[in-house]
Amino acid sequence: MDQVACLRSVGFETSAISLDALASGTSKVSPLPGSEEKLIYRGWMITPDDYLRLTNAVKNAGADVLISHAEYLATHYLPNWYPLIRDLTPETRFFSINDDLESALTGLGWDNFFIKDYVKSLKTSIGSIINEPSAIRTVVAEMQKFRGSIEGGLCVRQVEDFIAETEKRYFVVYGKPFAALPNEEIPGIVKECAKRINSPFFSVDVVERRDGCKRIVEIGDGQVSDLVGWTAERFATLWVEYS
C-alpha cells in the first residue's frame, strides 16, 4: 500500500483487480481507467496464462497494458533473457524434469550447481545450491512439494564466487536504467543490459564477484519485482523522471 500512496502523491491514478478471479474470467479493473490509458501491473508473480487473462481484463475495461504478454515472458522466464546476456551472467543449462538430470549434471563437471525453475529457486529444505549431482532428485521433489509445480523447466546455473552483500537491484524503463539512490552511479553492466533486453520495464540484479567483476544474477519483469533496496518514494519518482 505504500507504493499506492506514493504513486498517488506524485499524480498517478491507481486501480485494483482480483487475481483470484482471473481463472474464472470475472476479474474487473476497479475503478475503471480512462479510455486508452496504459496500465502497469504491480503485484504477485502470476503464470503466463493468468497474465494473458489480466491483459484481457484491462483491454475489456477500455485501457491497455504497458507490458504485453510476450514482453512479460521475455524477462519473467530465464531461458528467454539468458541468450541475450550470456556473457554477463553465470553459465546456464536448461533441462526438462523428465531428463536424466543426475547424468546431465555429472557431465557438466562443475563443482557446484544452482538449481531453479524458469522463475524461482528453492529457498527452503536443502536450498538451491548442491555439490553432488545425485542431490538434484531431492531438489526437484522439494520444489514440487513446496511450490506445487515446476514452472517451465529446470535451469542449472554455474556457481561463481559472489560477495552476497554487494547485490543490488536496478530498474530499467524504456532502456533507461535507474538506481535505488537518485545520484547513484549506474554500473556499465546494467547500461549494457538495458540495451539488449526488449522490454519497456524490467529489473536487473547485479552482484560483485570476489575478483572485482560485476555479474548479472537475475532479470525479472519489473511489474512483479520487489523493491529490494528501494523505497516506495524512490520507485514513484522513477516514473515521474521517465514521464
What's the confidence (pLDDT) of residue 243? 62
Provide the sign of the torsion angle of the four alpha carbons 27, 31, 33, 38, taken in this order: negative
Closest-CA residue to 42 (of 64, 59, 67, 63) = 67
Give the DSSP H or E segment for 196: helix 188-196
Respond yes or no on whether the N-terminal peptide bond of residue 31 is cis (omega within 30° of 0).
yes
Grid cell digits, residue 107 = 557431465
Provide the sign of the torsion angle of the four alpha carbons 29, 7, 197, 225, taken in this order: negative
Structure confidence by residue, pLDDT tens digits, 199-226: 999 999 999 999 999 999 999 999 999 9
Are 69 and 51 contacting, i.e. CB atoms less than 8 angstroms apart? yes
Closest-CA residue to 38 (of 64, 61, 70, 71) = 64
Cα separation, 170 vs 222, in Å, equals 10
183 has pLDDT over 70: yes
Looking up cell 551472467 gives 89
Structure confidence by residue, pLDDT tens digits, 44-102: 999 999 999 999 999 999 999 999 999 999 999 999 999 999 999 999 999 999 999 99
What's the confidence (pLDDT) of residue 234? 96
The length of the chain is: 243
What's the confidence (pLDDT) of residue 167? 97
189 has pLDDT over 80: yes
Cα separation, 137 vs 117, in Å, equals 14
Provide the sign of the torsion angle of the four alpha carbons 17, 19, 20, 25, taken in this order: positive
174-179 average pLDDT score? 96
What's the whole-model pTM score?
Answer: 0.94
